[in-house]
Amino acid sequence: MYSYTRRYTGPLQAVIMDLAGTCVDFGSLAPIRAFLDLFEAEGIELTEAEAREPMGTEKREHIRRLLAMPRIRSQWQTRFSQLPDDDDIDRLYRAFLPLQTRAIVERAALIPGALELQALLQERGIALGVNTGYSREMVEVMLPHLKEQGFDPRSVVVATEVPQGRPAPHMSLKNAIELGVSTVQACVKVDDTATGIEEGLNAGMWTVAVVASGNAVGLSEPHLEALDKAERAQRIAQGYRAMAPSGAHYLIDTIADLPDVLAEINRRLATGERP
């Protein structure tokens, strides 16, 4: 005898967003500044492109991946006459924490559209959560600044408090549990990195990649707006091409564009579609 499970056809229950580059810190610049300063202090040349490559991962893991890059690894061996090991990673992570904390405070402005999105979700009874590759110590520095601006998600999950960080689904699933959702199909994960999108896909959720405000473009809002129209369009188009292979269900410029996507996902859910 076969049993059949009825497909979920209800409304969205939760939106789970990344922090830097998605709902705060336009351009995701705080982590990059901290990593560049960290490696400069070690006498190691690190480019912004290299610093951005592991973005989305937990920050100690981010350091490990940077040190595994052949160019960085070669510099380290020349500088210290040995390859980097776990003790080096631990030392760098300890040095990274105050650098990142300072950068977070400097880059704590909400991305335009965040408060309007929060109000819309509240109006529609959709829970709001965030997760991040930052540690709890880093997030605790950021949250008061976000609350001062009126942004107050119900669930905040960090990579160091789950068994595995991104691209494992653990953070998004912990958000879903804390938000009390009944099915992951009713959740949307919004992120500006391919690793964060993979996290959402692994959690069985709808995924939305933000491009213009995030890691793929990597410019502050004033810098992006200062470009002439053609160059700005080119940079954003390059960002879309970079994020397209992530497998996100939708790609948008910023979270200001998210309401239309949520409406479309609601329509798809109503017909029994799954992520």
Tell me the catalytic residues. Answer: 18, 59
Helices assigned H by DSSP within the chain = 30-41, 48-52, 59-68, 70-80, 86-106, 114-124, 136-148, 170-179, 194-202, 221-226, 229-243, 258-270
User: Tokens in use for 254?
Assistant: 């910023």
Q: Provide the β-strand partners of residue 191.
A: 209
The gap from C-alpha 245 to its chain's centroid, in whole angstroms, comes to 16
Euclidean distance between CA atoms 5 and 241, whole angstroms: 38
What residue type is assigned to position 3 of the chain? S
Euclidean distance between CA atoms 230 and 233, whole angstroms: 5
